[in-house]
Structure 1
């Protein structure tokens, strides 16, 4: 049994495939939908949509830390070659920064919700727009790691094992 826990597969992982992208796509969706529901509630006057936006941000905040845990673990197993290292380092930095930003915005959203659940300041929507843009940058960096540099893909893992990439 221990051999299954300590051996790495052809993706250089101890489990069948990467988990970080699965969890992180959930976070991306929750942040984007949280922002969309808040904007819709603000401009339509349907304040019950603010509650949907709040719960999206709350769940995104929790899921963000799960994404970071798996991201750090899988990044450590990725054995990035020199060209990919700078993108991976930037992706890591932005990811950790996003965890703080999302947590702060969610805390702010909680205070707003506690004071008056029927109103949302325009400044909060501005912060949500900035958050959405930062998430877009992070998506770009993550896509680049997979689709350009091929981290945790079988051909790249094999090339690393054969010493073809450094």
Structure 2
């Protein structure tokens, strides 16, 4: 009878240990799946952010190139209907590119006002230059490039920081956000 009792207790203990191991394994697998989901989300967010940065960089470069070439293309067109259409197209392209840059930017960015001021100067100088033969001033174009570099560098640093943030830190910050809401 004692032997049978000891065997039953041993079997019960083994079943209990197996249950604990199974539950622990399930909890670890659940946690790992959650961490993997957070990592995947961070990667996707970084991809979208990098695509946005690349598009913004391209649009900023396009705006500068259009501003530089607007005067030359208007003068090369000569006079007449073709010249008027060419000048109108150049103005439209500059305005479209400038508007795209503005729309892509966050108005709360520390360099937003400086960027918009430079864009407005470049627009005005490009449009006036089409009539006078003088384009945007080198100083304004240089300042535009510097502001763009500052913005793009800062955005890249944010992207890198997001990628290097540990998933546990991310999970804690998300939990804190939920509690505040």
Structure (1/2) with the larger helix percentage: 2
How does the TM-score come out when normalised to structure 1?
0.50
